[in-house]
Amino acid sequence: MRTAIHVFDDASLFHIAAPQMVFGEVARLGLAEDWTTALWSLDGAAVRTAEGNTLSDVGDPSVADNADIVVIPTWPADLPQIGDGLRTVIGDAHARGAVIVGLCLGAVAVADTGLIAGRSAVTHWQWMSRLAQRDPTLRTDSSVLYIDHGDVITSAGTAASIDACLHIVRRFLGASAANRVARSLVVAPHRGGGQAQYIERPVADHPAGDPISDVCVWALAHLDHDLSVDELAARARMSRRSLVRNFRGATGMSPARWVLEQRLDEARVLLERTHWGMDRIAHACGFGSAVTMRQNFVKVYATTPSAYRATFGVAATATSPPQ
C-alpha cells in the first residue's frame, strides 16, 4: 500500500503527520508488508510547515504516479482554488484507481476537482458552509467524522484525520489490525458520534428590542416551557406566518428547529456539568421524557446522552465537584 501525501508551505505539521503516523504504525507492527508513505510537493522542493519545521525529504508529483492512496491532508485556511497541476495529479491518480483522500480542509481541494460532485462530503465544521459554496451539488454532512465513497474519502477537522486513516486501515486490513494500530497509538479505534457534537452554535446577535431577538432570549430562559410556534408568535406579537418568515430570516432555520437545537445544547451542558438523572435533564430542557431526549440526541449527535456524559461529563473530566 503506497500512500502519497501532498505537502506545501505553511501546511499544518499535525495534518501531514496523521497519515504517516497511522500507516507507518501498520508497518512498524508488522501487520502488512510494504505499507509506505511518501511526501510530495508540486515542485519537489522542501517545504516549511506552519509550525516552522522544514521538511526536506519531499518528492515531486511523480511520487503519486504509482500510489494506491493520494492524500491531501490539509489546505490553506483562505481556501484558494487548486491549480491545474494539482488537479491533474489528483485526476490522473483517481482515473487509474487510486483512492483520493481529503483530510480536514483537504476536502475543499478534492471538491475542486469535481470528483465528489453530487455526493456527500465533510470537512472541518467551521468551513462546512464554504465547502457547500464551492460546489452547490455537494451534500455536506456535519454529523460524521469521515465519509467513504470507495474511491474518495473526506474527513472532518483535525483529530478526525486520524479516525479516517484508521478507517482506511480497517477497510483494507480488517478491524483487528485497526484496533492494534489504535491501541499502539493510544487512540480510540472507532469513535462513536460525529463532529456535530463538537460544533459551537452561538445564538445570532440581534439588537435589543428586535422581536425575534427578544423571543429568542425569552425562549432560552424558558426551555422547560411550551415553545410551540403559536406560543413564540404570541410572545413576539406576530402572526404565526410572520414569525416563521422573520425567524428563518434571522436565524437561518425554522422556530421548531431552533428550539430543538437549543434544548439539545442545554442537554449537553447539563450532561457535562451535573450528575442529574436523565429524566431531570429531559424535563429541564423541555423534552417530554428521557426517551424523547435520547431519540433526538442520537439523531443529531449520533451518540447517546449516556455515552456523551461518559466522555465529557464531570466524572470523566474530574474538573467539577458533584452538583
Whether 48 has a pLDDT exceeding 90, the answer reads yes
User: What pTM does this model have?
Assistant: 0.70
Q: What per-residue confidence (pLDDT) applies to 310?
A: 86
pLDDT digits (tens, 9 = 90+) for 93-139: 999 999 999 999 999 999 999 999 999 999 998 898 899 999 989 99
Is the pLDDT reported for residue 85 higher than 50?
A: yes
Which amino acid would we find at residue 323? Q
DSSP 253: S
For residue 19, what is its C-alpha cell? 497519515
Q: How confident is the model at residue 70 (pLDDT cuts 50, 70, 90)?
A: very high
Report whether pLDDT(318) > 50.
no
On whether the CB atoms of residues 101 and 168 are closer than 8 A, the answer is yes
Q: Is 166 a residue whose pLDDT tops 60?
A: yes
**What is the overall mean pLDDT for the chain?**
90
CB distance 109 to 102 below 8 Å: yes
**58 close to 47: Cβ distance less than 8 angstroms:** yes
Nearest to 269 by CA among 279, 284, 258: 284
Q: What is the pLDDT of residues 281-294, one digit of tens each?
A: 999 999 999 999 99
Please write the tens of the pLDDT for every residue from 3-43: 999 999 999 999 999 999 999 999 999 999 899 999 999 99
